[in-house]
Chains A and B, each alone.
Chain A
Amino acid sequence: MTFTTLSLTLIFVLIPLLLSKTLKLGLEKDTIIATIRSIIQLLAVGYILKFVFDAQSYLYIFLMVALMIVAATLNARKKGKGIQGITWKIALTLIVIEAVTQGVLLGFHIVPATAQYIIPISGMLIGNSMVLSILFLNRFIAEITNHHDEIELILSLGGTPKQAIHRQLMNAVKASMIPTIESQKTIGLVQLPGMMSGQIIGGADPIQAVQFQLLIIFALLTTATLSSIMIGFLSYPALFNERMQILEMK
């Protein structure tokens, strides 16, 4: 695809802009910012990836993955502002997820240990984990706010913080995992996943594209489960003090 043909795809940006303006949705500014950011970010990533793939250095791979983790952490932490130490808790979760998934993929030689495989797979898994963390934190904070009386009741009867928050924690874990599980149920029927579509458009054998997609969706199940459970269990103690009193969320 040439830059000229690519620029024609900006028609897809003009349509929502015109609709937003006509219907007074007020989304024009956000749409323009999102478009400019995606152009700059993706072009920059494209050039960086080209450089890293050519260099084939583990140091660059490590730095790329570290950058992804930092960016994902900084984005997800906004949703957990009231929870003390949320930044390092999200970062640790993402590091563990990356270590576990890449450990399995590389350890069993499921994919070659090259930048072309490690970086895109890491991007998908860390990105998914970030979304899961945001979904979890949103729901967890809502559960705590809406069920404050119930948490206080269990504490008042002599329950521990873990007992007091158990139901809210489990509800948030389940709720955050539902989109991943539901989307996997209809995968291939309703939509062709992005990576698979990309490979097929790029001329790869559809069966091989499916195999890679399966690898990703299985790994996504682990990241979904691990993200919610790890952040949940790392976060809930920060909601209580040493006298087992629930702290007010700021």
Chain B
Amino acid sequence: MDMLYEPSIHLQQVSFSANDKTILKSITGSFPKGKITTLVGPSGAGKTTLLKLCNGLLSPTDGQILIDNQPISTYEPTALRRHVGIALQAAPMVKGTVFENLALPRSLQGKKLTKEEAIQYLQDVGLDQSFLQRSTNGLSGGQRQKVSIARTLINQSSILLLDEITSALDRQSVQDIETLIATINKKYNVTMIWITHNLQQALTIGHFTWVMMDGELIETGKSSLLKAPVNPRVAEFVQGVNA
């Protein structure tokens, strides 16, 4: 990764194991501040685990993670998770309405979300205000993902971790979300780490990319590396996805 960029997150020989299974093997690398880095690689490469480590839902079994040059362990967990927001892949919802879900990040801090704010966040992700009082049980996969993205934005985190947030969306919605993420990234200088299986998306939206396989970081660099990969494993992966 280009050392000209100040890192928002830096991983120093980070490993993670669970139930005697090694999921991440000695990962070292940085996510540049204010940039969008995509994480690509086959399923089971350890990408989601990496995001959970950065949000503090998991802790490394070895190595160190620095968030804005501070060891992650020095952050108070709730403050860390507001600073480093995450949109989880399954877009889980709490039982209740869309509004209750959007208000959740605030209510956890004893604060309120106004109806007007909620409508604005919904519009940002391409949903109209009629969704506000709808039960989350009746939402489609794509609508859940949109609500999940809107909810993640409410904490106004400096770093956003996005786990396959457009996998259940139609082409138009994918474009809308890509535009929204690019706008937030530019307007508020938010650092983004985005897991995607869509290499075209990684090329168009990502400034940088990490290619992960079997718990290892195979290659990092500008997203354009996906166009003409030098590393044979990356080339094979890219070929496989594009086939």
Interface residues of A (CB under 8 A from B): 149-150, 152-160, 163, 167, 243-245, 248
Interface residues of B (CB under 8 A from A): 18-19, 55-59, 73, 77-79, 81-82, 85-86, 88, 90, 92-95, 104-105, 108-109, 151-152, 155
Q: Is the CB of A167 within 8 A of B88?
A: no
A149-B92, A150-B94, A163-B108 known; A157 vs B56 contact (CB < 8 Å): no
Smallest CB–CB gap between B3 and chain A, Å?
30
Closest to B59 in A: A243
**Which of A150, A156, A160 is B57 in contact with, Cβ under 8 Å?**
A156
Q: Is the CB of A156 within 8 A of B88?
A: yes
- Residues from chain A with a CB closer than 8 A to the CB of B105 are 157-158
| 13 contacts across the A-B interface (CB closer than 8 A) | A153-B88, A153-B92, A153-B93, A154-B94, A155-B57, A155-B81, A156-B86, A158-B78, A158-B79, A158-B105, A163-B108, A245-B57, A245-B58
- Residues from chain B with a CB closer than 8 A to the CB of A158 are 78-79, 81-82, 105, 108-109, 155
Smallest CB–CB gap between B52 and chain A, Å?
8
Smallest CB–CB gap between B83 and chain A, Å?
9
Q: Is the CB of B94 within 8 A of A245?
A: no
A233 CA to B108 CA in the complex, in Å?
A: 19
Closest to A152 in B: B57
A149-B88, A152-B88, A243-B77 known; A157 vs B108 contact (CB < 8 Å): yes
- Residues from chain A with a CB closer than 8 A to the CB of B108 are 154, 157-160, 163
Closest to B104 in A: A157
- Residues from chain B with a CB closer than 8 A to the CB of A156 are 55, 57, 81, 85-86, 88
A245 CA to B58 CA in the complex, in Å?
A: 6
A153 CA to B151 CA in the complex, in Å?
A: 11
A152 CA to B90 CA in the complex, in Å?
A: 11
A153 CA to B96 CA in the complex, in Å?
A: 14
A158 CA to B79 CA in the complex, in Å?
A: 7
Q: Is the CB of B104 within 8 A of A154?
A: yes
Smallest CB–CB gap between A152 and chain B, Å?
6
A48 CA to B77 CA in the complex, in Å?
A: 55
Counting chain A CB atoms within 10 Å of each CB, the highest count among B57, B77, B79 belongs to: B77
Counting chain A CB atoms within 10 Å of each CB, the highest count among B57, B152, B155 belongs to: B57
- Residues from chain B with a CB closer than 8 A to the CB of A152 are 57, 88, 92
- Residues from chain B with a CB closer than 8 A to the CB of A244 are 56, 77-78
Q: Is the CB of A167 within 8 A of B90?
A: no
Q: Is the CB of A245 within 8 A of B56?
A: yes
Counting chain A CB atoms within 10 Å of each CB, the highest count among B59, B82, B92 belongs to: B92
Smallest CB–CB gap between B20 and chain A, Å?
12
Counting chain B CB atoms within 10 Å of each CB, the highest count among A156, A160, A243, A244 belongs to: A156
- Residues from chain B with a CB closer than 8 A to the CB of A157 are 81-82, 85, 104-105, 108, 151-152, 155
- Residues from chain A with a CB closer than 8 A to the CB of B73 are 243
Closest to B152 in A: A157
A156 CA to B152 CA in the complex, in Å?
A: 9
Q: A149-B92, A155-B57, A159-B108 are in contact. List 15 more A-B contacts (CB 8 A).
A: A150-B93, A152-B92, A153-B88, A155-B81, A156-B55, A156-B88, A157-B85, A157-B108, A158-B105, A158-B109, A158-B155, A159-B78, A244-B56, A244-B78, A245-B57
A110 CA to B151 CA in the complex, in Å?
A: 56
- Residues from chain B with a CB closer than 8 A to the CB of A155 are 57, 81
Counting chain B CB atoms within 10 Å of each CB, the highest count among A153, A155, A157, A159 belongs to: A157
A154 CA to B88 CA in the complex, in Å?
A: 11
A165 CA to B104 CA in the complex, in Å?
A: 14
Q: Is the CB of A243 within 8 A of B56?
A: yes
Counting chain B CB atoms within 10 Å of each CB, the highest count among A149, A155, A158 belongs to: A158
Smallest CB–CB gap between B42 and chain A, Å?
23
A156-B55, A158-B81, A158-B105 known; A167 vs B92 contact (CB < 8 Å): no
A155 CA to B94 CA in the complex, in Å?
A: 12
Smallest CB–CB gap between B135 and chain A, Å?
15
A156 CA to B56 CA in the complex, in Å?
A: 8
Smallest CB–CB gap between B225 and chain A, Å?
30
A156 CA to B86 CA in the complex, in Å?
A: 7
- Residues from chain B with a CB closer than 8 A to the CB of A160 are 78, 108
